[in-house]
Amino acid sequence: MPSYTACQQANTSFNPSFVPTMVITGSISEIGRSMVEIIARHLNGRIHIVLVGRNKSVAEAIIASLPLSNDSTYEFMYCNVMLMKNVHALAKELSAKLPKLNYLVHCAGVFGLGGRDETEEGINSRLAARYYSRFALTNDLLRL
């Protein structure tokens, strides 16, 4: 395993010759939002980021705060990842729109301390967000 210092140096020197494309679920809060902001800043806006979440107004505020360049593309796509029909529809739309995907980041999650809470599809909502949606989206986007 590389040392922490080696990881920091590798991250600092990251500057791809191409404009990378990143899709990130759960991108409008907490860890996902921070990842979007950090990579956009690090690459000086030279990235295409698709923010996936459930709150368009928050996503628009995040996008407005990101650095711009001639190669910047930031967009929001609505998806409630607790429903697999939504995840498959998102994957279909992304597959039609994107020629290639460099980074797929899964940050969507659901917090709950109660018992089983089922979605309309009969799936435990926490498992749907934390496991099933991640597998389904990754599997559906493999060709990219």
CATH number at 76 reads: 3.40.50.720
Structure tokens given for 120: 């309309």
The verdict on residue 109 lying in a domain is: yes
Q: How far is CA 121 from CA 36, 73, 78, 128, in A?
A: 30, 34, 19, 10
Structure tokens given for 128: 């749907």
pLDDT, tens digit (0-9, with 9 covering 90-100), for 98-136: 999 999 999 987 776 777 788 899 998 888 888 999 999
The verdict on residue 2 lying in a domain is: no
pLDDT band at 84 (very low <50, low <70, confident <90, very high): very high
Say if residue 29's pLDDT is above 80: yes
The verdict on residue 3 lying in a domain is: no
The verdict on residue 79 lying in a domain is: yes
Structure tokens given for 115: 């018992």
The verdict on residue 116 lying in a domain is: yes
Say how many domains are in the chain. Answer: 1
The verdict on residue 55 lying in a domain is: yes
Q: What's the rounded mean pLDDT across residues 37-52?
A: 96
The verdict on residue 4 lying in a domain is: no
The answer to whether 93 and 45 have CB atoms below 8 angstroms apart is no
> According to the model, what pLDDT value does residue 47 have?
97
Give the residue numbers spanning the domain of 24: 16-140
The verdict on residue 1 lying in a domain is: no
- Residue 50 gets which letter from DSSP? E
